[in-house]
Amino acid sequence: MASLSFSLSPEAIYQLHDALMCLGKFGDNVSFEAEFDLLRLSVLNSTKTAYAAFAFDADKFFESYSFGVDRRNMSAGVQSHKFCCQVLIKALVSVFKGRASGRNKDTSVERCEFELQDNPDETECLLVIRLICGLGVIKLYKLTYEPVYIQHATFDRSRATNEWSIEPKFLKEVTDHFGPSAEQLDIYSEHGKTVFTSFTTKIADGKEILRQPVHTSVAIDKRDFEYYLAEDNRHIAINLKDFKAVLAHADIVHARLTARFTTPCRPLQFAYELEGVKSEFTLMTRGEAVEDDGPSSSRAAAPQLSARQTPAPVQVSQQRPPATDASRMPPPSSRSRSLRPLTGTSVGASQTPAESQRPQPPVEFDSLFVPADDDRQWDVPNDEEAPAEDELGWDATGDKDTFTASLRTRVPNEESEAAEMDQEEETGIPPTQRISQLHGLGLFD
Amino acid sequence: MRFRTKLTNAETFSKLTASLSSLGKTCWMRLEPGNIRFTIIPDQGTQVWAQLPIDAIFDESSYILESNSGGIINLEVPIGALHRALRSAVDAKSAQLRLTQKGRIPLLALTIRTLSWAPGSNALGITTAAPAPAPAPAPGTGPGSGSSSHDPPTITNGPTQAPPPSTTTTTTTDTTTGPARPGRERETVITQEIPVKVFHESAVEGLHEPRCRDPDVHIILPSLGQLKSISERFTKLASPGHGFASDAAAATKPTATGASAAAPKLELSANMHGSLRLAIATDALRISSVWSGLVNPSLDPGQLSQGEMERLPSERMRAVPGDDEAGWARVRIDGRDWGKVLSVGRLSPRVVASFVHETALILYVYLPGTFNEEDSCLTYYINSYAA
């Protein structure tokens, strides 16, 4: 049994409303996670390619906040130190609908109280929201919630090798140039410019040239960034709709946006902080996993790799002798330990210090969602003889110029990966894990 | 085959494509050494044949056009996508359009440079004795040469823990443009690539402008904005159900035959005494608006002999007294289609309407500022429906 109640000032109500509107662009249900010092609202989208989370600080954001767990009587969704549940975003947003404009009316909202009822003696699974308005008007809303087990996207900031920060309005200007049919966004930099290219993965009929999507690329000066610490010519692609959702919210709250990422096919995180609110958006990226093969594999082979905590590029295993690879594999027990936080006991964004300092095997994967990754194997079979169009769809890049190289290199790589995988199976690595790693298209690998 | 030019008048080009895109999805764009033609021939509805001298929208000095078929290139262009792309160019400092190829797909690539002012917040509070803002680097030289020399170290040294951002920014600013400035011009380069089809000259040989007999009445239309709002009001009043539902349904599939056949027909008529009448009639209502005091332009006497001139139908109509109904030429047109035609009003052109009684309406749309009318004209051919 858990008890949670908090109250919000009008200002905080607007912030909460903005956050909910943003979360609503990622999914239908918002997850509440109450801890002793914060409340986290998060959404993991249905394809598990995007995770959005707002963490509200218990002291700074709320007028009052109280959370307690009765350990003798644990119900669903209650863990030793937190409580998780899920609510339909639409229902929650409708509570605050129209409140944003009612500031000057007599009956505008003066305070908002949330109370969660998780008592077997009373009505269970009810989220009660009380809007205390002027002139003694009280509006009462009762929503049902569903106790759930919440999945987090993990993202280890200390291992992100690329990072930039920018005012969201500059990026909004960029996205304004994209056409309505654009689906994906490729980002890279060269010659002091950062280039944003929109493209669409939909396979268009070859004859329907005029139906092909317009490619838009926008190059802005790196100096527009607050700082830009990302490798040149490192293409990374994300979903444009998710990107726009992040931008829209960051722009509303005037927060400077920071992006962190390592390599394509590994997650990218946008983050910004406001007074009492931390926002994090972890998105799947696509792109060419192998770009500068030589340097990265040699770096990966260097013994100090783990000490430097640079993330191991996904592709390193491809050209390394399997023996070396196998010798670096951690014992199964350590692997399973590394996965454990993903099942919900750890805080999403940053791993515990002990964990991140632990030597990382080069191909370690923090994939939470192994099943989602495995899904990919069903699509693969025709990889080898795939015609160009199929590869286009596959690679998720309609942009031939940008990714021609990847299209060509991909097939051989898949082959060598497969061959290598066989050998590694002999050394006792669980096959499912390997497949998910090697394909690496999911968000969390 | 080569085509490359700078845009001198992106706004006109953008408005032109917007007007055209309301009538059809694809546009035949014919590039000639001195002219550029846009033609839209929808399955149903109004045809547009537009011809502009290249200097109306392009920069003549940078206009390069080469092809094997007499220096002419015929393209089929998704006009809506072109319009969307051109919107990025409206406020731009410069914009270049060229024909290129990516893989096997021919493209019109539009490269746009925009400048905007960045406030000084990027200086991160660095208050070194900053002199007056350095002039913005010349496009093409500043960013490229400056940054490439010092960017690689930034990346290779980049520790995994985020270093203090200010150091990097400082070095960047210092090496490229001197000390931190209170503000600077930002340059943005936008590239829009629009897939197109290239036609051989033989594929378009059979296409020609509609021909019809000499018109009965020529008249200069009043303000298109006014005409459009009144036309739309009439159309709406006569629409089945007198509501928006049918409009909205038809708008989603404007070319669907069923939808436009059901749309109300406007009756447009004019005489040679400066009057124009817009009317609509249904079982329930009959309304009309009349403009008077409009101008009936006379044809260029240089092109016709005196005898031919007198035999023109329009001259016979001029002889009919103004209060005689016989002096009116009348056409019946689709209300919704007419609304799309009138969207050309955004170019604020001068429009001459030529009425062929009960047969067709031809609009000659002359763009403002280009009154060399032979050169720059959009011609709309609208069929009249039978009563």
Q: Return the higher-pLDDT residue of A425 and A268.
A: A268
The H or E element containing residue B229 is helix B224-238
User: E strand or H helix at B18, and its extent?
Assistant: helix B10-21
Residue B140 is predicted with a pLDDT of: 40
Average of per-residue pLDDT across A262-281: 89
Return the domain boundaries, chain B.
Answer: 2-115+191-200, 123-150+160-182, 217-383
Residue B116 pLDDT exceeds 60 = yes
3 state SS of A435: helix
Enter the tokens of residue B37: 């033609």
The yes-or-no verdict on residue B156 having pLDDT over 80 is: no
Task: Give the one of A191, A231, A308 whose C-beta lies nearest to B155's C-beta.
Answer: A231
**Interface contacts A/B by beta carbons within 8 Å:** 130
* CATH 3.70.10.10 residue window(s) in chain A: 2-147, 157-289
Give just the sign of the alpha carbon dihedral B175, B177, B181, B187: negative
Beta-carbon contacts of A215 under 8 Å, excluding residues fewer than 6 positions away, are: A197, A198, A199, A398, A399, B191, B192, B193
Q: Are A165 and B166 in contact (CB under 8 A)?
A: no
- The more confident residue out of B177 and B355 is B355
Q: What is the ipTM of this complex?
A: 0.70
Residues 9-48 in B contacting A (C-alpha not used; CB under 8 Å): 25-26
Distance CA A43, CA A34 (A): 15
Fill in the amino acid letter for B348.
Answer: S
| Fold equal for B2-115+191-200 and B217-383 | no
Taking an 8 Å cut-off on Cβ atoms, the answer to whether B186 and A220 are in contact is yes
Average pLDDT over residues B241-268: 55
Judge: B151–A179 Cβ closer than 8 Å, yes or no.
no
- Of A261-275, A366-380, B163-177, B238-252, which one has max mean pLDDT? A261-275
User: Averaged over A174-198, what is the pLDDT?
Assistant: 88
Region B111-119 average pLDDT: 83
Q: Is the pLDDT of residue A327 over 90?
A: no
The yes/no answer on whether domain B2-115+191-200 falls in CATH 3.90.1150.10 is no
Chain B residues with CB-CB distance to A257 below 8 A: none
How far apart are the C-alpha atoms of A311 and A235, rounded to whole Å? 17
Q: What are phi and psi of B237, to 5 degrees?
A: -60, -35
DSSP A230-289: --TT--EEEEHHHHHHHHHHHHHTT--EEEEE-STTS-EEEEEEETTEEEEEEE--BS-S
pLDDT on residue A444: 52
Q: How far apart are the first and last CA of chain B?
A: 49
For residue A160, which residues of chain B lie inside 8 Å, CB to CB? 160
CATH number for the domain formed by residue range(s) A2-147: 3.70.10.10
Among A177, A309, A400, the residue with its CB nearest the CB of B160 is A309
B195 interaction partners in chain A (CB closer than 8 Å): 209-210, 212, 214
What pLDDT score does B363 carry? 92
The CATH architecture of the domain made up of A157-289 is Box (3.70)
- Contacts with B150 from chain A: Cβ below 8 Å: none
Our CA-based measurement puts residue B241 at a distance from the nearest CA of chain A, in whole angstroms, of: 32
Residues 59-118 of B with CB under 8 A from A: 76-78, 81, 84-85, 88, 102-103, 105-106, 116, 118
Cβ <8 Å between B188 and A227: no
Residue A37 has pLDDT above 70, yes or no: yes
Cβ A424 vs Cβ A326: under 8 Å: yes
Looking at domain B217-383, its CATH class is: alpha beta
Chain B contact present for A50, CB below 8 A: no
Query: Can you list the alpha helix ranges (DSSP code H) found in A33-142?
Result: 89-96
The reply to whether residue B189 touches residue A191, judged by beta carbons under 8 angstroms, is no
